[in-house]
Structure 1
């Protein structure tokens, strides 16, 4: 059984939106961590 013609672009758009949201969230968290480190609110820690 094949997929309806309109379903494939819809699925690609949904996956793209999910990936874009995930990347955006990761960049937001990284930005907040960097801001906190620059401001001295977060100090670097040594593991090991």
Structure 2
């Protein structure tokens, strides 16, 4: 099956820096969100 358009995209892959390679910022961001939700006041006070 042929493609509908003959346009091709060339994607440039940029190399990751040191922090991105070890995923440290992503881990810290995920932990901070988890801690915020953990200490949040529950919405449901009393369920019938």
* TM-score normalised according to structure 2 size: 0.44
Larger Rg: 2
Higher relative contact order structure (alpha carbons within 8 Å, sequence separation ≥ 6):
1
More helix by share: 1
